[in-house]
Structure 1
Amino acid sequence: MGPSDRHDRLRRWQAASLLAAAPIASLSASDAAATTPPPTPPGQQRIAAAVLVERLHQRVLSGQSATATLESWCAEHGLAEQARVRAVRVRGQDKAAPADVLHALGATDGSAVHYRRVQLVCGSRVLSEADNWYLPARLSPAMNQVLDSTDEPFGRVVGPLGFQRQTLADQTFWPPRGEGNQGVILEVRALLRDREQQPFSYVIESYGVAALP
């Protein structure tokens, strides 16, 4: 066998090897495509987000404490490594109670009404912000001291009152109301009543997009 014959046989063997490998490579590519999930269409993403907003809405309405509700929500959706909701007091702001708030609280002209604005935070996420007007005369001195001097969540502080939460108004927003991280997906107005059904707190809660996983 001459050198030219050997070269011809080598070329034919290489060509046959490439043809044999081609179906395998094609099959591997098709397998990879089959195991890679297609991207979720934007329309379906919007629907999924709207469903989550409504779930949060119902959880807030059925719960007695926004703090406790958000804590369980944070844990279920893995929003933070440690599902502990803390209040961050927004200081240097004061808002006089509107007439409808005073009426709902049953406040008289001589009633002291305190104002507290907080953010409820889980990990690095600001889940909600709340304006809270409350009657200190209907809380214990110890509760007032904690509320005045710490950032402890209101619901956690007044828990011993065995309070009930009455929703006065609620509305969801999808797309969110506002831009970017400041967008609001849910607003709730609620009245808190003690065991004797006396109102002592009026809150306006705004839940932000950061509450969504």
Structure 2
Amino acid sequence: MAFSAALALLASAPATLDQFEAKLAEHDSATVALGEWCAVRQIASPAQITASDRRQVSSNDPPAKMRRLLGIGSRDHFTMRHVHLDCGDKTLSIAWNWYVPSRLTPEMNAALATTNTPFGKVAAPLRFRREAIDTVKGPADNCPAETISTHLARLILPDGKPLAYLVECYTAANLAP
């Protein structure tokens, strides 16, 4: 069977949650994993992940839990970015991302504030690693009811400092044939 025929057969077969979770587990960046998933499942062409419905809030008064999770002191600022990660016209993830702007470059902060580029793509040059905190089947932490899986994680810089805390609500669009 030719590669393109095998790919088409794979894309038309129903996906399982286990297959989807395995793809997410292959990468430190959910953006990269979703891009690959979108391509293999032929959810859209081109298989490009964008951040839509962006909302951003800055503060130096996050909850105590967030200060601990991000490893920030009382004078440090953080930013929260809420996005829908889309592939074509399908929303694959609804995510909340609390991050420390001082741990990014000025160019990265500008891109996050003014573009639809996902956080994972913007911050990729920092070579972060993902630290899973919890995975819940279905919705959790303010996720929509149709959420198939919720991931709580931190992104850690090579020097060990936390870069971001994430709540990712993955939608049923990931499993649609």
CA RMSD of aligned residues (A): 2.3
Inter-partner Cα distance in structure 1 for 2:57 and 2:106: 23
Deviation digits for residues 14-58 of structure 1 (CA, Å, limit 9, x no counterpart): xxxxxxxxxxxxxxxxxxxxxxxxxxxxxxxxxx96x71122122
The amino acid that maps onto 2:104 is L
Inter-partner Cα distance in structure 2 for 1:74 and 1:182: 22
Q: What stretches of structure 2 of length at least 5 have no aligned partner?
A: 1-12
1:94 and 1:119, CA in 2 relative to 1: closer, same or farther beyond 3 A?
farther
Q: Among residues 130, 147, 150, which one is paired with 1:184 in the alignment?
A: 147
| 1:112 has 2:85 as partner | no
- Answer with 1 or 2: which has the greater Rg: 1
Greater relative contact order, per chain length (Cα 8 Å cut-off, separation 6+): 2
In the other structure, the counterpart of 1:101 is 66
Q: Among residues 31, 48, 52, which one is paired with 1:84 in the alignment?
A: 48
In the other structure, the counterpart of 2:5 is none
Q: Among residues 1, 12, 17, which one is paired with 1:53 in the alignment?
A: 17
Q: When the two structures are superposed, what TM-score results if normalisation uses the length of structure 1? A: 0.68
Kindly tell me the number of residue pairs found equivalent between the two proteins.
160
- Tell me if the contact between 1:53 and 1:172 (Cα under 8 Å) persists in the aligned partners: no
Deviation digits for residues 113-133 of structure 1 (CA, Å, limit 9, x no counterpart): 111011110111000011010
- Tell me if the contact between 1:57 and 1:172 (Cα under 8 Å) persists in the aligned partners: no
- Tell me if the contact between 2:82 and 2:96 (Cα under 8 Å) persists in the aligned partners: yes
Inter-partner Cα distance in structure 2 for 1:158 and 1:92: 16
| 1:211 has 2:174 as partner | yes
1:153 and 1:92, CA in 2 relative to 1: closer, same or farther beyond 3 A?
closer
Give 4+ residue runs of structure 1 displaced > 3 Å after superposition.
92-98
Inter-partner Cα distance in structure 2 for 1:92 and 1:110: 20
In the other structure, the counterpart of 2:128 is 163
Deviation digits for residues 53-110 of structure 1 (CA, Å, limit 9, x no counterpart): 1221222133111111011111111111321111114337789743322211111111
Q: What stretches of structure 1 of length at least 5 have no aligned partner?
A: 1-47
In the other structure, the counterpart of 2:116 is 151
Inter-partner Cα distance in structure 1 for 2:113 and 2:37: 28
The amino acid that maps onto 2:132 is T
Query: SS at 1:90's partner residue?
Result: strand
In the other structure, the counterpart of 2:39 is 75
Inter-partner Cα distance in structure 1 for 2:111 and 2:137: 32
- Tell me if the contact between 1:182 and 1:209 (Cα under 8 Å) persists in the aligned partners: no
Inter-partner Cα distance in structure 2 for 1:143 and 1:57: 28
The amino acid that maps onto 1:59 is K
Query: SS at 2:135's partner residue?
Result: strand
The amino acid that maps onto 2:175 is L
Q: When the two structures are superposed, what TM-score results if normalisation uses the length of structure 2? A: 0.82
1:127 and 1:97, CA in 2 relative to 1: closer, same or farther beyond 3 A?
farther
Structure with the bigger percentage of strand:
2
